[in-house]
Amino acid sequence: MKLFVYHTPELTPTGKAPECAIAVDVLRATSTIATVLAAGGEAVQVFSDLDQLIEVSEKWPSEKRLRAGERGGAKVAGFELGNSPLDCTPELVEGRRLFISTTNGTRALQRVQDSPNLLAAALINRAAVVQFLLEKQPETVWIVGSGWEGSFSLEDTVCAGAIAHSLLQQTTLSPEELAGNDEVISAIALYSQWQDNLLGLLHQASHGQRLLRLDCHEDLKYCSQTDILDVLPIQHETGVLKSQKK
């Protein structure tokens, strides 16, 4: 297994897809996707374009759909939800499909949607993602961070490092054998330094600070937890993720 970390969708190689791709947007799209599916949501369908989201979701009965839209960290007017996982309670989402568009995370998912195995990962479901990799042993794995509008983000890189760190702990691979690029080594180093204070790192992150200014303190606390959801969001058809629960 060779692992590659790309800090943003724009940094991924063009014209090819890996055997397994893992999209990461800790703050907050992939955290929300994992939470919705763990709470009994039927599926999550992702869009980069808000108008397309509205057009497609209109074909679903209103009682079977939820629309989540976020731009710049704030909820889009006219949508039931923004991008807070804490709003995605079982009472609200069970049996319903979430149609979601966010500033960064949905772009990362769409960039690697041609991979035969596309997962959505966050810190909260890290263990489920690692278990999938250990069971399937894909030859090439890309972890694609969402970043923020094309720039590096601490929170997505530390999640990539958390996945890589766990793989090293549970296999006989050395860092040199696992790492397909230098970004893997740097992600492991970042996680190793901050693993006991991930909330502190999220407070340092520029997007974490942006969310704090929007009074999203509880979101940061929730998204900084590791391995609290045993749920694996995996793409079943293009742009549609469903739960592969243990």
Report the DSSP beta bridge partners of residue 142: 4, 21
Interval 78-95: pLDDT, tens: 999 999 999 999 999 999
Pairing of strands 20-24, 43-46: unpaired
- For residue 10, the model assigns a pLDDT of 94
Pairing of strands 97-101, 65-71: parallel
Interval 48-59: pLDDT, tens: 889 999 999 999
- For residue 228, the model assigns a pLDDT of 98
Task: Tell me the domains of the chain and their CATH numbers.
Answer: 2-239 (3.90.1560.10)
Q: ∠ at Cα 154 (192, 166), nearest 5°?
A: 35
Closest CA to 185 of 161, 201, 168: 161
Q: How far apart are CA 121 and CA 127, in angstroms?
A: 10
pTM of the full structure: 0.96
Q: How far apart are CA 131 and CA 117, in angstroms?
A: 14
Q: ∠ at Cα 119 (68, 210), nearest 5°?
A: 45
Closest CA to 128 of 191, 196, 35, 44: 35
Q: What is the DSSP letter of 115?
A: S
- For residue 107, the model assigns a pLDDT of 87
Q: How far apart are CA 188 and CA 12, in angstroms?
A: 19
Alpha-carbon radius of gyration of the chain: 17
Q: Which two tokens stand for residue 74?
A: 């704030």
Q: Which stretches in the chain have pLDDT values below 70?
A: 245-246
Residue carrying the six token digits 């055997």: 19
- Within 13 Å and on the Cβ side, how many CA atoms surround 42? 11
Alpha helices in the chain (DSSP H): 29-38, 50-57, 90-93, 105-111, 126-136, 154-170, 175-178, 182-194, 198-204, 206-213, 217-223
